Amino acid sequence: MFLLFVLMIVMVFQSGCSSTNHYKILSFFFDGVPDPSAGDLQKGDSIKAVDTTSFAQNAVNRPVDMTHLHPPYKDKQCSTCHDQGSMGKLRVAQPGLCYQCHDDFANRFKVLHGPVGGGQCTMCHSPHMSVNEAFAIRTGQDLCLHCHETDQVMANESHRDIGDTGCTKCHNPHGGNDNNLLR
């Protein structure tokens, strides 16, 4: 896992900033996040084919509200994340972009959640602002069921009685001690 992670960083740095390259890398890691202990590929089936190419492309459904402002955005430190010469470009790819200031989740958890290892922080967080806590772009189960198939999730015994309890009541969104990412 760690090696993969390093490989990813290296690939991201080598790839420059073209969005096609970016997409290839993300989809490689998205489809390919390996689960060494499982030995089967069925799990991949429960993940929807969502567009993970860019935060901007998901903008339509994004709440635009100033209720919670991410400090570096509020303080106009745009250039810690954006290339000053071209605002369209990010200085570093995610998750490195975020780990400039936040602790690497790989140091906190034995197993990383797919999109965390794959650097898709902005599939859950707005880098700028949100009406929601933790700058989340969706709330409750929607945050998770955006990628996970409802039927597949509900087929698991452990979920039979959850009703509309938020998934993060039991799961850590970033990682855990094993694949179930339980708190």
Span 123-152, contacts to ligand HEC by CB under 6 A:
123-125, 127-128, 134-136, 141, 143-148
Minimum CB distance to ligand HEC, residue 14 (Å):
18
Site string (100-119) toward ligand HEC, x via CB under 6 A:
xxx--x-------xxxx---
Residue 26 touches ligand HEC, criterion: CB under 6 A: no
CA distance 10 to 138: 31
C-alpha distances (whole Å) from 68 to each of 10, 134, 145, 167 are: 33, 8, 23, 22
Footprint on residues 43-102 left by ligand HEC (CB under 6 A):
43-44, 46-47, 50, 54-56, 59, 70-73, 76-78, 80-82, 87, 90, 94-95, 97-98, 100-102
CB count within 10 Å of CB 150 equals 13
Q: How many residues bind ligand HEC (CB under 6 A)?
A: 72
C-alpha distances (whole Å) from 165 to each of 80, 105, 174 are: 36, 25, 18
Footprint on residues 152-171 left by ligand HEC (CB under 6 A):
153, 156, 158-159, 162, 165, 167-171
- Which CB atom, from 177 or from 180, has the smaller least distance to ligand HEC? 180
- Which CB atom, from 14 or from 103, has the smaller least distance to ligand HEC? 103
* Residue 129 identity: M
Taking alpha carbons only, the member of 48, 67, 47, 64 closest to residue 56 is 64
104 is written with which tokens?
Answer: 């690497």
